[in-house]
């Protein structure tokens, strides 16, 4: 009988990962070209900072 808490046994949330594992996943997502919401937020934030510096 499986533990109901372990429904996504192989998939840990980002908070449960150690920094190296988190970085590895980010690299994998980037190589696969998958949509990464964190990278998109970082990109938007960077674009806003660039616009503020220009003005």
The answer to whether 37 touches 45, Cβ cutoff 8 Å, is no
Contacting residues for 17 by C-beta, under 8 A, at least 6 apart: 25
Q: What is the pLDDT of residues 16-45, one digit of tens each?
A: 668 888 788 777 777 766 666 777 788 889
Q: How would residue 6 be classed by pLDDT, with cut points 50, 70 and 90? A: very low
What average pLDDT score do residues 2-23 get?
62
pLDDT at 3 over 50: no
Q: What is the pTM of this model?
A: 0.35
């Amino acid at each position: 009988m499986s533990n109901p808490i372990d429904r996504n046994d192989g998939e840990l949330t980002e908070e449960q990962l150690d920094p190296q594992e988190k970085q590895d996943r980010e690299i994998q997502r980037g190589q696969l070209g998958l949509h990464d919401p964190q990278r998109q937020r970082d990109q938007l934030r960077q674009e806003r900072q660039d616009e503020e510096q220009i003005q």
